[in-house]
Amino acid sequence: MTTAPPSGNDVPELAPTGVERPSGPVLRARRVSARLVLDVRSTCDLSLLVAAARTPGWQVDDELVVHLDGSELPEGARPVEVPVGPAGRGERMHVLTGVPQGELVVEYSGTVAPGDGADPAPAADPEQAARDRFELNRPSRYCPSDELAAFAAAEFGSRRERSDADLAAAVERWVADRLVYTSGSSTSFDGAVQTMLRGQGVCRDYAHLVVALCRALELPARLTAVYAPGLSPMDFHAVAEVRVVRDDGAADWEVLDATRLAPRRALSRISTGRDAADTAFLTSLRGGLVLQQMTVTAVLDGDLPAEDGGRTVLA
């Protein structure tokens, strides 16, 4: 992606914090797709995280087709769907084992739509919330929050001084103001500290820095890969989700996107994890392959919602 973030008065600010409930996703269908062309140079095992999550309350009608040199894969190498993450999020990985040498073409397409026949949202799980509080406050490969703890405290204060919502909003604004969106400015080895020192990055770099700073402030935070209608140029997109506890004790995983490149209420979840190591759209564990081409699309039925900077949760 090469689009720079908007500037000046065109940048939506987060709305003042208050008692309002976060706004949910726009209740219209999203049509999403991804096409990958891979040069498999030796027999490999790989995983794909490209399928839209089967989120409770939504229906996903999709298809994944994989060909090798224009033909079907051998039976033992065909994709196997594997659930990942908590069952309530409906995230899915596709695993391919023993893929022979050749040109591998992966084509995914789907429609994500609200529907009466979809499963209802699950009840709050206190055990999962307890795990999240600790697991998603720990430093991780790309989000070394322990290295940023002193800086975050000096820059933003603490949960004893400010509400969760105020801290999350302050982090989002700070990252949006300090970084410049620059395509090709980072590598797969760069984490939040390198991004902060460099002052530039792409969507996953923005998300990593938001996640790391929030964890440094003792706010559980995670990175989420999404399909993003309105993103230009189109690609897979990464945002941060931060667990915000409100004054009444209720909590929501609110979306922070410091790139401000797509309306958050139109996003569709693909996968969620500690950082990009958990959410990579392609992972190879054996053999050699090279990504030759990639095309991603995400379209929302009807007009895109305005990005008002308010508090937003994903489906």
Residue-level pLDDT at 248: 87
- Of 150, 139, 142, 312, the closest CA to residue 215 belongs to 139
User: Hey, what's the torsion of the CAs at 239, 312, 233, 289, to 10 degrees?
Assistant: 30
Contact 211, 171 (CB under 8 A): no
pLDDT of residue 266: 97
Q: Which residues of the chain have pLDDT under 70?
A: 1-21, 117-124
Would you state the pLDDT for residue 129? 80
pLDDT at 121: 58
User: What integer pLDDT is reported at residue 86 of this predicted model?
Assistant: 87
> What distance in Å separates the CA atoms of residue 206 and residue 288, rounded to the nearest whole number?
30
Which residues pair with residue 106 across a beta bridge? 36, 66
Residue 131: the pLDDT is 86
* DSSP class of 233: S
DSSP state string for 253-306: EEEE-TT--S-GGG-EEEEEESSHHHH-SEEEEEEEEEEEEEEEEEEESSSPPP
Whole-angstrom distance, CA of residue 226 vs CA of residue 276: 12
- 8-state DSSP, 140: B
> Residue 258 and residue 268: Cα distance in Å, rounded?
17
Q: Which CATH architecture has domain 28-115+125-300?
A: Roll (3.10)
Q: If DSSP codes are grouped into helix, strand and coil, which group holds residue 104?
A: strand
Q: How far is CA 53 from CA 8, 62, 82, 255, 280, in A?
A: 35, 11, 12, 16, 14
Bridge partner residues of 286 (DSSP): 45
* Angle in degrees, CA 171, 54, 246, rounded to 5: 35
Q: Which residue has the tokens 């600010």?
A: 13
